[in-house]
A = this chain, B = another copy of it.
Amino acid sequence: MPRRYDPDRRRRLIDAAIRVVGRDGIAGLSHRAVAAEADVPLGSTTYHFATLEELMVAALRQSNENFGRVLAERLPKDGQGDLAADLAGALGVWLGGDRTGVELEYELYLAALRRPALRPVAAEWTEDATALLARRTDPVTARALLALLDGICLQVLLTGGSYDEEYARAALARLIP
């Protein structure tokens, strides 16, 4: 059997897990599915991640990093423009084209509702995101903005409705003192 001693087998497994969740949702996440997606034997996934929750934790953490990087790009510290407009624009980009990515990230994020093991990672995300927003406003407002962003995004995704950027901008603007 070739491919022994794979140096970053863990990372490849995490990437595969993210692809599986993106395609079939968390309901389709299994050791076997990840093994097939990463093209490794079943035993390898159970060795590196004894529990599916461990795999989810790792996937959510990596997913958060991706999300944070994009948010940081779209929210320069020295931006003197309208913060509400910037945020509404970022949301528009996320929800604009293919929603697979956002759905994936939200599904992992929301999984924390029933899986205490994921909660610290979810808390990490909100803290990091708040810190990012706090570069342009005070921390309390940042938290509120993040909550409203979550709520708006969620309503669009859950109801299958379309995203109204101008409405979002106006609502966000009201939160900024």
A residues with a Cβ closer than 8 A to B are 25-27, 103, 106-107, 109-110, 112-114, 116, 119, 122-123, 126, 140, 143-144, 146-152, 154-155, 157-161, 167, 171, 174-175, 177
Contact = CB atoms under 8 A, between A and B. Distances in A.
A119 B177 contact: no
Contacts of A146: 151, 155
B160 A171 contact: no
A174 B175 contact: yes
Contact of A126 (B106, B147, B159): B159
A119 B157 CA distance: 9
Given A144-B174, A150-B150, A171-B175, A160 B116 contact: yes
Tallying the copies of this chain within the complex gives: 2
Contact of A158 (B119, B143, B148, B167): B119
Nearest to A156: B147
Contacts of A116: 160
Q: Which of A109, A119, A150, A161 has the most CB of B within 10 A?
A: A150
28 contacts: A27-B27, A27-B114, A106-B113, A107-B114, A110-B154, A112-B159, A122-B158, A122-B159, A123-B159, A123-B160, A140-B167, A143-B167, A144-B148, A144-B174, A146-B151, A147-B148, A147-B152, A147-B154, A147-B155, A148-B148, A148-B151, A150-B154, A151-B152, A151-B154, A154-B154, A171-B175, A174-B174, A174-B175
